[in-house]
Amino acid sequence: MNWLKTLFPRNKKIPAPKRVPRAEHPISRSQLPSGTLKVLYGLKDAGFEAYVVGGGVRDLLAGMEPKDFDIATNARPEEVRQIFRSCRLVGRRFVIAHVRFGDEISEVTTFRGPITDSHERDETGRILADNEYGTLETDAFRRDFTVNALYYDIRDFSIVDFAGGLDDIKAGVIRLIGDPELRYREDPVRMLRAVRIANKLKFHIEKSTAAPIRKLAPLLREIPPARLFDEVVKLLQCRDGVANLQGLREYGLLAHLLPHTDMAMAKPQSRDFVERALANTAERIVAEQTVSPAFLYAALLWPAVQARTQQLCKGDSAQVNVAIAEASEEVLAKAQQHIVIPKRFSVPMREIWALQPRFDMRRGGRAQRLLTHPRFRAAYDFLLLRAASGEAPQELADWWTQAQTGSGLPPVTATESNADGEGAPRKRRRRRGGRNRRRPSEQPTAGE
Active-site pick, 59, 139, 144, 179: 144
68 binds Mg ion (CB under 5 A): yes
Distance CA 86, CA 246 (A): 42
Q: Which is nearer to ligand ATP, 189 or 371 (CB)?
A: 189
Q: How far is the CB of 154 from ligand ATP (least distance, A)?
A: 17
Rounded to 5°, angle at Cα 447 from 441 and 448? 55
> Which of 186, 230, 228, 236 shows the shortest CA–CA distance to 337?
228
Amino acid in position 143: R
Q: Which of residues 162-201 bind ligand ATP (CB under 6 A)?
A: 187, 189-190
Work out what residue 396 binds among Mg ion, ligand ATP, none; the CB cut-off runs from 5 to 8 Å by kind: none
Q: Which is nearer to Mg ion, 55 or 164 (CB)?
A: 55
Span from 65-73, 138-146, 347-355, 405-413 in contact with Mg ion (CB under 5 A): 65-73
Q: Which is nearer to ligand ATP, 143 or 350 (CB)?
A: 143
Q: Which is nearer to ligand ATP, 231 or 360 (CB)?
A: 231
Name 170's Cβ contacts closer than 8 Å, sequence gap at least 6. none
143 binds ligand ATP (CB under 6 A): yes
Is residue 117 among the annotated active site residues? no
Is residue 144 among the annotated active site residues? yes
Q: How far is the CB of 278 from ligand ATP (least distance, A)?
A: 17
Q: How far is the CB of 224 from ligand ATP (least distance, A)?
A: 13
Q: Which of residues 71-130 bind Mg ion (CB under 5 A)?
A: none
Distance CA 273, CA 134 (A): 48
> Which of 161, 143, 135 shows the shortest CA–CA distance to 49?
135
Q: How far is the CB of 56 from Mg ion (least distance, A)?
A: 6
Binding mask 346-385 for ligand ATP (x = CB under 6 A): ----------------------------------------
Closest-approach residue to ligand ATP (CB): 55
Alpha-carbon dihedral sign for residues 140, 144, 145, 151: negative
Is residue 68 among the annotated active site residues? yes
Q: Which of residues 58-77 bind ligand ATP (CB under 6 A)?
A: 67-68, 70
Span from 117-125, 141-149, 373-381, 413-421 in contact with ligand ATP (CB under 6 A): 141-149
55 binds Mg ion (CB under 5 A): yes
Q: Which of 15, 35, 42, 54 binds ligand ATP (CB under 6 A)?
A: 54
Work out what residue 189 binds among ligand ATP, Mg ion, none; the CB cut-off runs from 5 to 8 Å by kind: ligand ATP
144 binds ligand ATP (CB under 6 A): yes
247 binds Mg ion (CB under 5 A): no
List residues with catalytic annotation: 68, 70, 144
Name the site residues for ligand ATP (rule: CB under 6 A): 54-55, 67-68, 70, 143-144, 148, 187, 189-190
